[in-house]
Amino acid sequence: MPRTTPLEELKLIEAIVAAHGRGIGIADIEAEIERRQGEKPNRRTLQRRLHKLIEAQRLTTEGESIALVYKPATGSLPDAGAKAAAKTDGIATAELYVPVSPEGATIRDQVRQSLMYRKPVGYQREFLEAYQPGITFYLPDSLRRQLHEMGWTFESERPAGTYARDILGRLLVDLSWASSKLEGNTYSRLDTQNLIELGQVAQGKDAIETQMILNHKAAIEMLIEDADEVGFDAFTFKNLHAVLSQDLMRDPGASGRLRRRPVDISGTVFHPLAMPQLIEDCFELLLDKAAAIPDPFEQAFFLMVQLPYLQPFEDVNKRVSRIGANISLIQQNLCPLSFIDVPERAYVEGTLGVYELNQIELLRDVFVWAYERSCQRYLAITQTMVEPDPLKIKYREALIQAVQAVVKGLRQPSQSVIAELAREHAAAADQLAFLEMLETALQLLHEGSIARYRLRRSEYLAWQQAQA
């Protein structure tokens, strides 16, 4: 079952407590969540959710210690009527939200209604089939031009992935953190940076949260390292799912494979496709249409709309869509989409608008705001970057291979070794300069920079140990 978001968890907890007017203890709440979702919730996470509901005056407590029970706050019962149910709950009023269009606001209001007032719907294949690449556009022409102006970089004529490599360290941290945060991950940005750059696991965090961050890092590196080879095809997206879902799937065999069983998504009245053959057919059609879209921003947004809606994998679909949305941006050296500072509720409600209404306007509002935020962040960074050395550009791939030869070969970075590699990888006139580049690269090599040389952490640590 796809992992529920914190907002969905809060609603579920509140509904469970509301069904027990005289109060219910935390152990019974745990048991009820396990019965409904098929897995036991983390106790610390549940305690945080309960505390948040109390702060928002949605729940109250009675008793102490082991006799403590949770009860609905006055006026928060679900049977208080449609008017009460349609109100924005107390938790969300303090949350930030993106600016929304009138169409987006209408969708937001509809998906905020209680589940009992929303009509159950199934997957509508016509929503995918009706889209005609190059003819249908979710993003109007004026908006696409605006996005191109915002995301343009000076790297447009250079090899695919050049700009993303230039900001790799920042992008790995930002996108891994922000995308994981949209899944309820509680790592801070600093925690994420320490994990990615130094290998330091944050204290008090669940192993699943740590794994989620590391999986994002690996997935982003895969797209950037193989920017010339990845695309809107089944091979890329199955492998992307395999990386993002590593050690996170209930059935490890489902990682990187299309879904073979029905799934339910809590917090929505939408029911995804159940038949494996139809899932496979729609998956192929979706990717064929995505590959034929001429505009990179339309490609990115199309994927964010259609892939989670199809739910081709047992879990991790939204993560695949967020990371996959960057494929065309990375390939064309446009500013990437990091989802930094995106309010979780806005993203969830935009996705629900697609699930339940087949309406994209609220998610589009989120997409445009998120992209503008990303551009502001990364283009400000690149204004302070030093102009690249043409020789480094010329020998970029050769330098990567030379560093790999030293590290993977567990070789000492002696002058003789470096000189030998310079002779192998550079023209005679450039060998001295290449030797200096390689020497500097090896001196500055650390855990936070190994990704640029396509090295695994285990390879780097083995090399370090060999130098001791």
Q: Is the pLDDT of residue 179 over 80?
A: yes
User: Would the annotation count 318 as a binding residue?
Assistant: yes
> Is the separation of the CB atoms in 32 and 46 below 8 Å?
no
* Least trusted range by pLDDT, from 64-68, 229-233, 356-360: 64-68
Given this model, what pLDDT does residue 1 score? 44
- Structure token digits, residue 308: 């989670």
User: Would the annotation count 42 as a binding residue?
Assistant: no
- Structure token digits, residue 267: 């917090």
Instruction: Tally the residues of the chain.
Output: 468
- Structure token digits, residue 238: 């199955």
Given this model, what pLDDT does residue 88 score? 37
* Least trusted range by pLDDT, from 2-6, 258-262, 421-425: 2-6
> What residue ranges define each of the domains in the chain, with the CATH number in brackets?
6-81 (1.10.10.10), 102-382 (1.10.3290.10), 390-467 (no CATH)
pLDDT in tens, 13-27: 988 888 877 788 888
**Better-scored residue on pLDDT, 191 or 168:** 191
* Least trusted range by pLDDT, from 44-58, 111-125, 297-311, 385-399: 385-399
Given this model, what pLDDT does residue 70 score? 87
Cβ atoms within 10 Å of 417's Cβ, excluding its own:
17
Given this model, what pLDDT does residue 91 score? 44
* Least trusted range by pLDDT, from 47-51, 73-77, 335-339: 73-77
**Better-scored residue on pLDDT, 311 or 16:** 311
Q: Is the pLDDT of residue 383 over 60?
A: no
pLDDT > 70: percent of the chain: 91
User: Would the annotation count 87 as a binding residue?
Assistant: no
Q: What is the DSSP letter of 58?
A: S
For the whole prediction, is pTM greater than 0.85?
no
pLDDT in tens, 437-456: 999 989 888 877 787 788 88
> Is the separation of the CB atoms in 199 and 447 below 8 Å?
yes
* Least trusted range by pLDDT, from 73-82, 92-101, 129-138: 73-82
Residue written as tokens 């695919």? 160
Q: Is the pLDDT of residue 388 over 60?
A: no
On the 0-12 / 13-18 / 19+ scale of CB atoms within 10 A, 125 is middle
Q: What is the mean pLDDT of the chain?
A: 88
The Cα 308–Cα 313 span in angstroms is 9
Compute the average pLDDT of residues 275-294.
Answer: 98
pLDDT tier at 463 (50, 70, 90 boundaries)?
A: very high
Q: Is the pLDDT of residue 65 over 70?
A: no
Given this model, what pLDDT does residue 66 score? 66
Contacts of 191 (CB under 8 A, 6+ apart): 202, 205
Given this model, what pLDDT does residue 382 score? 56
User: Would the annotation count 315 as a binding residue?
Assistant: yes
Residue written as tokens 């030293």? 406
pLDDT in tens, 67-93: 788 888 754 443 333 333 333 344 444
User: Would the annotation count 316 as a binding residue?
Assistant: yes
pLDDT in tens, 141-150: 999 999 999 9
The closest of 104, 105, 107 to 118, measured between CA atoms, is 107
pLDDT tier at 248 (50, 70, 90 boundaries)?
A: very high
> Is the separation of the CB atoms in 269 and 240 below 8 Å?
no
The Cα 147–Cα 374 span in angstroms is 11
pLDDT in tens, 199-235: 899 999 989 999 999 999 999 999 998 888 899 999 9
